[in-house]
Chain A
Amino acid sequence: MSARMALRQVGYENRSFWRNPAAAFFTVLLPLIFLVLFNSIFGDSELTIDGRNLDGSTFYVPGIAALAVVSACYTNIGMMVTIARDLGILKRVRGTPMPPWAYIFGRLAHAVLVSLLLVAIVTGVGAAAYGTDVPGNTLPGLALTLVLGALAFCALGLALTAIIPNADAAPAITNATILPLLFISNVFIPLQDPPEWLAFVGDVFPVKHFAAALQTAFHPDTTGAGFEWGDLAVIAAWGVAGTALALRFFSWEPRR
C-alpha cells in the first residue's frame, strides 16, 4: 500500500512539473542554452585542468550535465518544496495516512528522473553538435556518479529548505548558495590555474567533485569503468550530511 502510494506520488509530481512552464523552462532549457553558449564561445579551446588535457566541448558537456543535475535536484527541491511548505501543501499531505517518506520519495525520485533525462539530452546534443564522445566503457562510473550525485544534491536541497524562512526568499537563497559554487567548480569556467585558496574552497564542496567525476566519465582517454572514488566519497559525505540535517530540521509546517 505504502509502496504503491510512493510510486503514484512520483507520477503526480511528474505531471505537476511538466505542466508548470516556468519550472520546466528553467530546469530543462537553461542548461541547454548554457551548453550552446559556452560551446560556441570556448568550444575549440584547449584546456588543462588538474593536469589533464581536454578540449572545450569535452569540458562543457559534463560540466553542463553537472549543472543540470544540480538544478533539477538541489535548486528545484530547495525552491519547490519550500513553496509547497509555505502554501500548506506539505501540511495538507501530513494530515493524510500517507507516510511522510512516501511523499519525500515522490519528490526525490521525480528529481532524479528529470536529472537523468537532462543528462541524456545534454549528452545527445553534445555528441550531435560538438562531436563529444558518448561514454562507453565508463558507463558504470557515469551511472553511479549521476545517481549518487543526484541523491546527494536532493538531500542537500531538502536540508536547505530548513534554513529558508519563507517562499519569497526561496529563489534568492537557493541561487545564492549554489551560483558561486558553480563558478569555482569547473562547471561554467574552466579553472586552469586558480588561486590556491579558490581551489581549496572548491574542493571542500561537492559540486567540483561531481563535475570532475563526470569529466572523467566523458573523457575519451579514460580507461576502465570510470569510477573516481575520491570524488564519489566527498559527494557521498555531503549527501549523508544533507540527509542528517534534513531528517533533523525539515519542517512540514508553513513558516509565516
Chain B
Amino acid sequence: MIPEEIAASRCPRCDMVVAPPATYCPHHPVLMTPASLPGVGEVVSFTTLHTPPAGFRSPLHIALIELDGGARFVCHGADVRGLKIGADVAIEAIDNIYYFSHLGALERARLFWRRAGRAGDRVNAIARSLAKRVWKGKHRAAS
C-alpha cells in the first residue's frame, strides 16, 4: 500500500513539528510553516475503548503514532491483535479519517524502496532501520 502524505507544520524557532498543522507553535508565539510528513511511523501507545462516545462503534481502537519526521499523531486502527508498542505502522486516510495498519516485513521493504532513490540510499536506509530496532531493544526506558 502507498502511504499518505500527512499535512503538518513546523516551528521556525524550535523545529517542533505538529500534525495536523497549527497556526502557532504550542511553545512559541511564532507562526508555523507548512510541512508534510510520510504516513509511516511507530506505535507510541494504543488503547481500545469498550464504551466509546456517541457516534463511534465499539470496540474503538485509538493509537498514538510517532511519524517518521518527528510529529506524534492520533488515529484509528481496524485491529490491534498482536500490536506492540514500537511496532512500525503505515497511515492511510479513508474519508478524511486516518487509520494505521501493521507493516509486515515485505511492506516495510517496499516502503524503503519507494522512499529511497538510489541503490546506496536504500541499503543505508535499511541499515539505519535495523540499527534503530536494535537500539530500541536495548534502550526502552525513555518515553
Q: Do A and B come from one complex?
A: no
Residues of B with Cβ closer than 8 Å to A?
none
